[in-house]
Structure 1
């Protein structure tokens, strides 16, 4: 059985910084071409995600499943390589690793508190993992930075990962409304000229860490005061923590061991390739550690509000929670039976040749399929339905009515998705 969550389990963020972070989260000024925000792929209306298996990032238009890949020279050049992760309860004090491959961890190896893709160039003063994490989509070409040659941010990032952040910080602090909000929210900021990417990251973290703190689900009521779950969910709970063995990985207060496991999900998409990868593959944790033992292993996702955050898996292989449960129980069979219809992958004609090309590489597919960290569990259709009912009982009563929500406008004047 998981542990109950209380308010004391979360980092204490400043409310004024959270209100500032809300505006920044939905403001496209933080993207290289001023055309996409954090909220585009982590939207309130979509459970803090985007409803797509692999997102349509910089260059696309619209929101969620209705988002289109753009056209002409501004159209997307690549799908986002991984599914947009959910934001629920990331301000919990137990969170110690972020991103699907765990490439952001608490560590002082570089003298700034974190082991991150920015290494020693991550600026000091970031007050939480969330603050550090918030900075990296701004440096990613296909997420927020834009394509080479399109703007000064991507040009700077191409030279070195941290060089785009001062450009974005200047954009923000020179807007009078933002400048004054930073002075009001941060004790050490006496004038707008003092604002750096560090304050922007800390404000975004304050918003994410408070807005998506949610632990008022029927299961939380069961944990705290013994309120019974519906019969189907109770049967599912017993399976989850018992013979289905889900809790071997999904344990602790967040229902995640925050470790990395190979589950043989079907491979598709552009892959999160490394510089020396000859094919569009995704080696998971190995991409962060360069350790062969970590190949094809991905972080165990937390499960509270999981019913709101499909598609599922590091690449969104399944839109339906039921199918994901079936895959976790029997990865080999489900991988064999998988078809693209089970994912939410909008048609992008100029990318179709790359979407599934990895599946024609027999050696890579053999390595991928052979790396599996679980033994199959035989579950009947009724048992799968019961586990899904339990997972649905993890949805918070207030999960779709969060404290701040989406702002109608932002200080830059740019449109809000």
Structure 2
């Protein structure tokens, strides 16, 4: 118990120290709040619905997770995670759910360009990259094509895109639980569900496209965990075409493959489908990486930030996204890995794989800030660690601490995403 509380105290001290250093350098970042791409604020009464939702969820989720039948529990986890993301966002007003996608830097701005000739747009995507908006420039073409597809299907307006993003991102609570159950058993999966549904990262589920990336990655991994090799490969094959930064996230499904041994040939066949389709359509992925990196270096944005500060600061952001309960579980996770303790060790392995992916991106230097959204697909795999936290004081205090972290983030930080 003492080790658990020390780990939680270190979590708080680490975050406080990073923000203290960042505040001293804030004048170089305009109105930003390093290491977050955000500004400080104070919401009061606006947070009351979120506080009420959190109190109800803390009371209800642990007994539901213990007693409800498994499939209904997955739907409940999805609904609870979606509600949590929505109620947090609504503290900024009714239009907050789609407002981030209305920005001139976002994907929907490119819809008219795709409309003119989708096949030509894809073939010339790389060579015309410099003329697109910030988010289109910074990613492969698939996110823009998804937004365009909604519009082409008659679902006009950013509200539909926001609904897709929130639905996909919140569904990861169910998908991660499915994976944990497959590799570590139902007891730990059930214990993880409340922490998956009431996570601090929900602040960035409504509405950043990275939440959709989270959902795609989580379900692809869950399919592999259930030995649905072809379907899992097909879904995971889309990840590099959603975001170049998702490549290190393959460390997580790699662990699942080692643990579950799905059939290799169907999985590899599935993985090849999306890359083959984009290549035949005229988009060559390595050229896209090179072009995006070139625009990143000359953009004058995050590439100009301090490598040393954000090398550490990015990890503080990950700590905020995952919360104190995950930090408190650190000693138990380390012990499980060291002793290869079943069923805890597989959960720790999934978290370690996600952390390896984060460290790979962090050390590369291409993620200097703005990682509160980039880390979302990685952070979800650390959340099940909270199920390993020693339960002498019970689940509810740690779950309340998770909810309080999200509420504090929403109340004190105005995110630019």
Name the TM-score, length of structure 2 as normaliser: 0.27
Name the TM-score, length of structure 1 as normaliser: 0.27
Which has the larger helix fraction?
A: 2
